[in-house]
Structure 1
């Protein structure tokens, strides 16, 4: 039984001068030009990185302990989605403070047993003024992983939408995104671990990468995004062709093989 009664971590603040190099590196991975002085929404994920010592990592590659990691045994983590509200963009050269705090926790019963839903809020401040607020929804399970899914389809989805971006992420791209975000979770680069221990159908494409690809659609159309909400529904695996789809009315999604909608999102 998952019990996090009494777990109430104190907020944490870090300050960083926004450098152009991380965004330039992310742009290179996406095969686009660097964005300039203003960071596109969600590109803050290549900044404010935590860099734990190797001895602090658990068998899955994640830190064993952390201020916002729930104290449950045999913890397994999944990225479920989030929300972002932008008042002003983060800009290269600015000193920005990120305040992180626990927003909510909830224990729910799923098909594979109890799950702990944790929402962590990130507030970005410049000269003491709030410029953006992000909430990340994370799901934790305790104990053994679920059984491996059935056969994984590699048939390209057929998608009709005003905006589309066809993608096929390979292990090299997943490695590069893991490096850019300092994410050592083994499901993204260790196929034997991902399939045999965590029960996945292959290397898992990062949920944050899928969200960034969704937002590439309005960004490449020249639209300014001030609010975003997204939810990860199903995993996408390396070498699976998928399509980021959307329209100017604010609807976005990741469409995967087999008629699977892997992520849904809305923007304004």
Structure 2
């Protein structure tokens, strides 16, 4: 752990604008899943994406580790979970400054092997005020061992939903969202890499896209952007499977999930207030 102490507190700042082009392409990509109104829930994940020369990319198409994210001794990276507080949403024309700080690095062993977790805190400001605070966790994993098949994820339980929608996941949808976010991760477009190197059953639907569906559904049900939104990835959603986006009422919050319509496995869950 001491090898990574110097990364704690590492910070960078980026600025971007929710341009009319970006807003229009965002709306077209989300299509029926976009909430009504001027706010664009989830558009902050499209702003100021990491952009490096080709020489600075890793084998997965992401910027190589050691530039902003630390170079942990585990080759695979994925979006694990996060918690957001939202003072006000983002709209077309907003110029947004994001300050990102690495706040924690830790390791643990799980059923699938060794794991490394990096926590990054983001603060998004516009118009002189903080709009969104997000604590995001990125997980590093080892390459899969074909001799050790992963345990099957549990089936989703039955929900009494207040809203449900189905999204057809296609390679075109994945391409469009990757373009919005300048995401070069090869698991979203390179089938031989996704299956042969990282061990997935096919192309993988982006975690932020699934979280965006849930955030927009929560906004529609609440009649405003949620004040808090926490999300967690549970299982990969493979392109081609219908994504069932669902919400139900909890005691003091909305509970949301994305479910694989073919396997009835929950791929991502969230709650919103």
With structure 2 as the length reference, what TM-score do the two structures score? Answer: 0.86
In the alignment, structure 1 segments of 5+ residues that lack a partner are: none
The 1:5–1:75 alpha-carbon spacing in structure 2 relative to 1, beyond 3 Å, is farther
Within 2, Cα distance between the matches of 1:182 and 1:43?
Answer: 13
Aligned to 1:131, the other structure's residue is in SS state: strand
> Mapping of 1:62-73 within 5 angstroms?
62-73=62-73
Q: CA RMSD in A?
A: 2.8
Number of equivalent positions: 264
Within 2, Cα distance between the matches of 1:233 and 1:33?
Answer: 21
Q: 1:12 deviation in Å?
A: 1.1
Within 2, Cα distance between the matches of 1:217 and 1:36?
Answer: 10
Q: 1:121 deviation in Å?
A: 0.8
Instruction: Identify the residue that residue 49 of structure 2 maps to in structure 1.
Output: 49
Instruction: Identify the residue that residue 185 of structure 1 maps to in structure 2.
Output: 185
> Are positions 1:94 and 2:99 aligned together?
no
Instruction: Identify the residue that residue 27 of structure 2 maps to in structure 1.
Output: 27
> Mapping of 1:152-191 within 5 angstroms?
161-191=161-191
- 8 Å Cα contact 2:204-2:237 kept in structure 1: yes
Within 1, Cα distance between the matches of 2:128 and 2:67?
Answer: 23
Within 1, Cα distance between the matches of 2:220 and 2:37?
Answer: 16
The 1:167–1:160 alpha-carbon spacing in structure 2 relative to 1, beyond 3 Å, is farther
> Are positions 1:16 and 2:16 aligned together?
yes
Aligned to 2:90, the other structure's residue is in SS state: coil
In the alignment, structure 2 segments of 5+ residues that lack a partner are: none
Within 2, Cα distance between the matches of 1:163 and 1:241?
Answer: 16
Within 2, Cα distance between the matches of 1:23 and 1:36?
Answer: 13
Deviation string for 1:56-92 (max 9, x for gaps)?
A: 1111111114543122245210111111111122232
Deviation string for 1:221-246 (max 9, x for gaps)?
A: 46211210011000110111220010
The one of 247, 250, 255 aligned to 1:251: 255
Instruction: Identify the residue that residue 228 of structure 1 maps to in structure 2.
Output: 229
Q: 1:8 deviation in Å?
A: 2.8
Within 2, Cα distance between the matches of 1:119 and 1:168?
Answer: 31
The 1:159–1:169 alpha-carbon spacing in structure 2 relative to 1, beyond 3 Å, is farther
Within 2, Cα distance between the matches of 1:164 and 1:263?
Answer: 15
- 8 Å Cα contact 2:7-2:102 kept in structure 1: no
Instruction: Identify the residue that residue 262 of structure 1 maps to in structure 2.
Output: 267
Instruction: Identify the residue that residue 216 of structure 2 maps to in structure 1.
Output: 216
Moved more, 186-195 or 248-257: 248-257
- 8 Å Cα contact 2:33-2:217 kept in structure 1: no
Within 1, Cα distance between the matches of 2:143 and 2:222?
Answer: 45
Within 2, Cα distance between the matches of 1:263 and 1:146?
Answer: 24
Moved more, 73-82 or 162-171: 73-82
Deviation string for 1:94-124 (max 9, x for gaps)?
A: 3321111012222111123221111111101
4+ runs of 1 displaced by more than 6 Å? 33-37
Moved more, 5-14 or 205-214: 5-14
The 1:146–1:43 alpha-carbon spacing in structure 2 relative to 1, beyond 3 Å, is farther
